[in-house]
Structure 1
Amino acid sequence: MKKNQKTRVAIIGTVGIPAKYGGFETLAENLVAQLGNRYEFTVYCSAPSYIGQRKESYLGARLKYIPLKANGKSSIIYDALSIVQALFFADVILILGVSGAFMIPVIRWFTKKRVITNIDGLEWKRDKWGGTAKKYLKWQEKIAIKYSNSIVVDNKGIEDHVMKEYGLPSNLIAYGANHVYKKRLGEAVKNELRLPDSFAFKVCRIEPENNIHIILNAFGETDFDFVMVGNWSNSEYGKLLKEKHDSSNNLYLLDPIYEPDKLNALRSNCSLYVHGHSAGGTNPSLVEAMYLELPIVAFDVNYNRYTTDNEALYFSTKNDLTQLLNSELMKVDNLKSIGKKMKNIAIRKYTWKVIGEAYEQLFSA
Structure 2
Amino acid sequence: MKLAILGTVGVPGSYGGFETLAQNLVDHHGATGNSAALAVYCSAKAFPDRPDSYGSARLRYIGLDANGAQSIAYDALSLFDAVRRGDNRLLLLGVSGALVLPLVRLVSRARIVTNIDGIEWKREKWTGLAKAVLRVSEWAAVRFSHVVIADNQAIADYVTATHTRPCAVVAYGGDHALDAAPDPRATADLPENYALALCRIEPENNVAMILEAFVGLETPLVFVGNWDKSAYGRDLKARFADHPNITIHDPVYDPSGLRAIRDRATVYVHGHSAGGTNPSLVEMMHFDIPILAHGCSFNRHTTEEKARYFMSADELAEAVRSLSGQDAAQIGADMGEIARRRYTWDQIGRTYFELLES
Select 1:94's aligned residue among 86, 91, 97: 91
Q: Kindly provide the CA deviation profile for residues 307-342 of structure 1, in whole angstroms up to 9, marking residues without a partner as x.
A: 000000100001101111111x2x233212211111
Q: How far apart, in 2, do the equivalents of 1:258 and 1:356 lie?
A: 23
> In structure 1, what is the equivalent of residue 283 of structure 2?
288
- Contact 1:15–1:21 (8 Å) recurs in 2: no
Q: How far apart, in 2, do the equivalents of 1:279 and 1:325 lie?
A: 23
Select 1:35's aligned residue among 14, 29, 37: 29
Pairwise CA RMSD of aligned residues? 1.3
Q: Kindly provide the CA deviation profile for residues 152-189 of structure 1, in whole angstroms up to 9, marking residues without a partner as x.
A: 00000000000100111011000111111177766643
> In structure 1, what is the equivalent of residue 176 of structure 2?
179
> In structure 1, what is the equivalent of residue 19 of structure 2?
25
Number of equivalenced pairs: 354
Q: Kindly provide the CA deviation profile for residues 6-44 of structure 1, in whole angstroms up to 9, marking residues without a partner as x.
A: x21110000000111211111111111112422211000
CA shift for structure 1 position 360 = 1.9
> In structure 2, what is the equivalent of residue 321 of structure 1?
316
Q: How far apart, in 2, do the equivalents of 1:105 and 1:309 lie?
A: 37
CA spacing shift, 1:112–1:200, aligned 2, 3 Å: same
Provide the identity percentage.
45
Letter in 2 for 1:267: R
Select 1:137's aligned residue among 113, 129, 134: 134
Q: How far apart, in 1, do the equivalents of 2:185 and 2:11 lie?
A: 31
- Contact 2:101–2:140 (8 Å) recurs in 1: yes
- Contact 1:96–1:117 (8 Å) recurs in 2: yes
CA spacing shift, 1:149–1:185, aligned 2, 3 Å: closer
- Contact 2:186–2:261 (8 Å) recurs in 1: no
Select 1:56's aligned residue among 52, 64, 81: 52
Residue correspondence of structure 1 range 251-266 to structure 2 within 5 A? 251-266=246-261
Select 1:82's aligned residue among 78, 82, 106: 78
- Segment drifting more, 34-43 vs 266-275: 34-43
CA spacing shift, 1:151–1:182, aligned 2, 3 Å: closer
Q: How far apart, in 2, do the equivalents of 1:111 and 1:218 lie?
A: 53
TM-score by length of 1: 0.94
Letter in 1 for 2:317: T
TM-score by length of 2: 0.96
Q: Kindly provide the CA deviation profile for residues 113-168 of structure 1, in whole angstroms up to 9, marking residues without a partner as x.
A: 11111001101111111221111101000011011111000000000000100111
- Segment drifting more, 27-36 vs 268-277: 27-36
CA spacing shift, 1:201–1:83, aligned 2, 3 Å: same
Gaps of 5+ in 2: none
Q: Kindly provide the CA deviation profile for residues 17-74 of structure 1, in whole angstroms up to 9, marking residues without a partner as x.
A: 011121111111111111242221100001111123x210111100001111100110
> In structure 2, what is the equivalent of residue 210 of structure 1?
205
CA shift for structure 1 position 261 = 0.6
Letter in 1 for 2:264: N
Q: How far apart, in 2, do the equivalents of 1:298 and 1:199 lie?
A: 16
- Segment drifting more, 124-133 vs 170-179: 124-133
Residue correspondence of structure 1 range 91-240 to structure 2 within 5 A? 91-181=88-178, 188-191=185-188, 194-240=189-235
Letter in 1 for 2:147: S
- SS of 2:46's equivalent? helix
CA spacing shift, 1:188–1:162, aligned 2, 3 Å: closer
CA shift for structure 1 position 291 = 1.3
- Contact 1:182–1:292 (8 Å) recurs in 2: no
CA spacing shift, 1:186–1:171, aligned 2, 3 Å: closer
Q: How far apart, in 2, do the equivalents of 1:95 and 1:335 lie?
A: 39
Q: How far apart, in 2, do the equivalents of 1:34 and 1:217 lie?
A: 42
> In structure 1, what is the equivalent of residue 294 of structure 2?
299
Gaps of 5+ in 1: 1-6
> In structure 2, what is the equivalent of residue 8 of structure 1?
2
